[in-house]
Amino acid sequence: MIDSSTSSRVDLTDVDLFMEGRHHHVFSQLRANTPIYRNHAADGSAFWAITRYEDVLWAYREHTLFSSSRGAILGGSYRSDEDSAGGKMLVAMDLPRHRLLKQQLHRAFSTRVVDQVGKQVRILIDQAVERALAAGGCDFATDIATELPAGALMVLLGISHDQAHELIDLTRRMVGFRDETFVDVGGDERLRLAWLQAEIFEFFVDIVDQRRKNRQEDFVSTLLDAQINGRPLTDEEIFYNCMNLAVGGNETSSYTACSGLQALIEHPEELDRIQKDESLLGSAIEEILRWSSTNTYVQRVALRDIVRNGAEIKKGDSVTLWNISANRDDGQFESPHVFDVARTPNRHLSYGAGVHRCIGAPIAQTELSYIFRRIISTGRSFTLASAPRRLRSNFIMGTTHMPVEVI
């Protein structure tokens, strides 16, 4: 139990808080007592944590007060204070360069591309679900959910199924850089991240080369044709943005699918409602996104001194916007800890908000709509065969293994 006097001891970089599911209690205490909280991390660094819905939304919208140049992930990772990605990849850029690049990248996420992703995802998910039905079960996390980003990557990058899975393995290692399931966790964390990033760049070398010679209608070709103030992107900017696409899209949608299935298994009455009335599928997907809050927070850096809710934020301070807390704020959501597939309105912040709002949201919506439609249409019952294994992270709420039985 924490209150206003003891909340100063909370450290949101303590991954165990999230692994053990204690974070929801901690966030409700912070929202009530210290909505903009000065977090002192074990490594000696400090940052502000914004936890109320209206403050998180305010910070997302105030992009002239809060810069993205330090990257979305807190320091101590591959995006340090001297962030090499700062200003180079979409998620770590500020206006006006951000707007100029995003406008051009939208082309790679057109309605036509989203439709093609839908078709590819459908083929892969149908095959994976059929295999699970025949076998009476599977590891949902590795056998089914990863087919969502695989389908998206095949279309967005024009690559094969095998290549897509190769890239998913690489980004999974990067996002799971603190998880022994994916990497050897010994040694220097920054070196490990630099190595993992280099592996992803390496993956893209041949693709960038090929598209340079022969443009396709894909994301890499769009990057090669993009210009900011009349200047094409540098090689470094191209590779960083390839990585941004892969890291942004691979883990988030598949992990959200896992959390969503787990929520439906744990709330059979809600699953029953969708099975009886498929028109609830749309609101169910929004509730799954709110409930999962897969991307727990994003980081910004204050561009000047700011006073709000008693907090005195100084220019240059790191500020974190906690989606996972905003999405359970009872000032915004009625009974926020109830999983309600018919919840309306449901203005969750799972895709962020403002200028950096997720560019891949329509792709994620297509992926999630299809996977849950397919699961429901089986008419079979999915149950957990053993406890799911969680990713060791306070940034991404992930499920690395989820053995299920299908009866």
- Cβ pair 81, 343 in contact under 8 A: no
Beta strands in 166-224 (DSSP E): none
Least separation in angstroms between residue 272's CB and ligand HEM is: 24
d(CA 194, CA 189): 9
Sites for ligand HEM among residues 187-206 (CB under 6 A): none
Q: Which residues contact 172 (CB under 8 A, 6 or more apart)?
A: 182, 250, 251
Contact between 356 and ligand HEM per CB under 6 A: yes
DSSP for 306-317 reads EEETTEEEPTT-
CA angle centred on 200, ends 400 and 174, rounded to 5°:
35
**Residue 385 binds to ligand HEM (criterion: CB under 6 A):** no
Query: Which tokens go with 295?
Result: 């991307």
Near ligand HEM by CB under 6 A: residue from 72, 155, 207, 406? 72
Amino acid (one-letter) located at 236: E
Q: Which of 59, 91, 183, 326 binds ligand HEM (CB under 6 A)?
A: 91
- Kindly state the smallest distance separating residue 248's Cβ from ligand HEM, in Å: 3
Task: Check: CB of residue 303 under 8 Å from CB of residue 66.
Answer: yes
Minimum Å gap between C-beta 351 and ligand HEM is 5
Candidates 57, 152, 391, 396: give the one binding ligand HEM (CB under 6 A).
152
Q: Nearest to ligand HEM by Cβ — which residue? A: 360
- What CA–CA distance (Å, rounded) separates 224 from 221? 5
Which of the residues 332 through 351 are near ligand HEM (CB under 6 A)?
Answer: 350-351
Of these, 118, 151, 360, 403, which contacts ligand HEM (CB under 6 A)? 360
CA separation, residue 77 to residues 71, 111, 155, 288, 393 (Å) = 10, 35, 30, 28, 12
Our finding on whether 359 is near ligand HEM (CB under 6 A) is: yes
For residue 11, give the amino acid letter: D
Q: What is the DSSP letter of 176?
A: T
Residue numbers 242-261 binding ligand HEM by CB under 6 A: 244-245, 248-249, 252-253, 256
Token pair, residue 277, equals 């009335």
Pairing relationship of beta strands 318-322 and 46-50 according to DSSP bridges? parallel
Three-class SS state of 180: coil
Nearest residue to 299 via CA among 2, 45, 5: 45
Q: Is 159 among the residues that bind ligand HEM (CB under 6 A)? A: no
State which of residues 67, 68, 325, 393 lies at the interface with ligand HEM (CB under 6 A).
68
**What does each C-alpha distance from 348 to 114, 323, 369 come to in angstroms?**
22, 8, 17
Binding segment for ligand HEM (CB under 6 A), chosen from 17-25, 269-277, 293-301, 310-318, is 293-301
Given the rule CB under 6 A, which of 166-174, 324-332, 357-365, 378-386 is the region that contacts ligand HEM?
357-365
Regarding 294 and contact with ligand HEM (CB under 6 A), the answer is yes
Residues 27-66 vs ligand HEM: string with x where CB under 6 A?
A: ----------------------------------------
Would you say 118 or 248 has its CB closer to ligand HEM? 248
Helix (H) or strand (E) holding 357: none
| CB 95 within 8 Å of CB 112 | no
Site for ligand HEM in 121-140 (CB under 6 A): none
Nearest approach in angstroms of CB 356 to ligand HEM is: 3
Query: Which of residues 244 and 393 has its CB atom nearest to ligand HEM in the complex?
Result: 244
- Give the separation between CA 268 and CA 275, rounded to whole angstroms: 10
The smaller minimum CB distance to ligand HEM, of residues 176 and 248, is found at 248
CB burial of residue 37 (10 Å; 0-12, 13-18, 19+): buried
Segment interacting with ligand HEM, rule: CB under 6 A, options 127-135, 338-346, 354-362, 370-378: 354-362
Task: Give the residues lining the site for ligand HEM (CB under 6 A).
Answer: 68, 72, 90-91, 102, 152, 244-245, 248-249, 252-253, 256, 294-295, 298, 350-352, 356, 358-360, 363-364
